[in-house]
Amino acid sequence: MLKSQMQDALNKQINAELHSSYIYLAMAAYCAQAGLMGMAHWLKLQAKEEVGHAMKIFQYVIDRGGNVALSKIDVPKGSWASPLDVFEAAYKHECYVSSLIDGLVADARTHNDIATENFLQWFVAEQVEEEASAQEVVDKLELATNGAALLVIDQWMASRS
């Protein structure tokens, strides 16, 4: 059985993951409107992954006999200065989500909730990947000094499966 504070914290994280999905969808729309369909594809897949993260926590709360409480999802920002600006924001956002996961692990430890701490280890590992994949795009975009280079990166991002 989940303690109510842990349940509330997990419900907040469900909202944070769904908000992440919204952020990536907004970024996908921005890239698609700029004709960068590979980046839009990458971001749409990321948006789907975020829903998957939310659903993983959703199911965990249910499995532990808790109550899922859904809350309003904040409206994401809708415009950026450039593709680099988009992916720098994505990287910063993932660092923020990592800090949220770390906070949940700390909560689980405070409540001596070993099952939740164990459950959260998947997210700890996932955040390492999430930060690295956003950083990889930022690194490439920083090297792209012209439109042709940008299109090569866009093509590479279209191959994300």
Give the residues lining the site for ligand FEO (CB under 6 A). Answer: 17, 20, 50, 53, 94, 97, 130
The least distance separating ligand FEO from the CB of residue 54, rounded to whole angstroms, comes to 8
Residue 31 vs 57, nearer CB to ligand FEO: 57
Query: Smallest distance from the beta carbon of 133 to ligand FEO, in angstroms?
Result: 9
In the bound state with ligand FEO, the residue whose beta carbon lies nearer, of 139 and 149, is 139
User: In the bound complex, which residue of the shown chain has the CB atom lying closest to ligand FEO?
Assistant: 53
Q: Which is nearer to ligand FEO, 50 or 88 (CB)?
A: 50
DSSP of 32-78? HHTT-HHHHHHHHHHHHHHHHHHHHHHHHHHHTT------PPPPPP-
Shortest distance in whole angstroms from residue 67 CB to ligand FEO: 22
Query: In sequence order, which residues have a C-beta less than 8 Å from that of residue 18 and are 6 or more positions away?
Result: 50, 51, 54, 73
Residue 97 CB, shortest distance to ligand FEO, in Å, is 4
> Which residue, 15 or 156, has its beta carbon nearer to ligand FEO?
15
Distances (CA, A) of 148 to 19, 31, 36, 47: 33, 16, 12, 27
Each residue of 44-82: b (16+ CB within 10 Å) or e? bebbebbbebbeebbebbeebebeeeeeeeeebeeebee
With respect to ligand FEO, which residue has the nearer C-beta, 17 or 113?
17
DSSP state, residue 1? -
Shortest CB 56 distance to ligand FEO, Å: 9
